[in-house]
């Protein structure tokens, strides 16, 4: 059974918002690569959340639909690094804009697992896991030789 998409909003510079609206599905195909890059950074603690206000542009709010698993992956990394999901989306768009990055093939998939939490008046325990799996590229058959008919 297909679950309905999650409807939320992201804050983006206007020029990036146009790209996000038009190319969201294609941009999200780069999510595994981008999250792997982000997970090279240290876990941030005892700091406030970072937002994408570094761009010197006017911002707009974009209503966005995510599959539940897409949003869970983004939110897991955002919460751990204490950044906003909007900042991750902004970085993902910037990565997608680089032609050399778009030309690269994608060889990783992400598996997100949220483990049943303990969450009550006396304790809060939540465990999330992101696992990146290497996907082998399809094997190309060797070029066929043409037989000469002389």
Alpha helix stretches (DSSP H) within the chain: 14-28, 31-38, 68-81, 85-97, 99-103
Q: C-alpha 65: how far from its chain's center? A: 14
Q: What percent of the chain has pLDDT over 70?
A: 83
- Higher pLDDT residue, 35 or 126? 35
Reported as a single tens digit per residue, the pLDDT across 56-83 is: 778 999 999 999 999 999 999 999 999 9
* Range 1-14 average pLDDT: 90
pLDDT tens-place string over residues 106-148: 677 888 888 878 888 998 888 888 888 887 665 565 665 555 5
Domain residue extents for the chain = 6-105
Between 148 and 33, residue with greater pLDDT? 33
């Amino acid at each position: 059974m297909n679950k309905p998409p999650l409807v939320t909003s992201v804050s983006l510079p206007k020029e990036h918002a146009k790209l996000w609206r038009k190319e969201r599905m294609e941009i999200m195909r780069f999510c595994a690569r981008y999250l792997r890059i982000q997970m090279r950074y240290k876990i941030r603690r005892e700091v406030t959340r970072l937002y994408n206000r570094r761009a010197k542009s006017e911002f707009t709010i974009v209503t966005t639909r995510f599959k539940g698993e897409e949003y869970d992956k983004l939110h897991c990394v955002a919460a751990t690094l204490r950044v906003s999901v909007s900042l991750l989306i902004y970085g993902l768009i910037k990565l997608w804009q680089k032609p050399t990055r778009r030309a690269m093939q994608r060889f990783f998939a992400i598996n997100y697992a949220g483990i049943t939490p303990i969450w009550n008046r006396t304790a809060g325990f939540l465990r999330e896991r992101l696992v990146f799996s290497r996907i082998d590229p399809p094997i190309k058959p060797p070029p066929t030789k043409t037989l000469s008919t002389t």
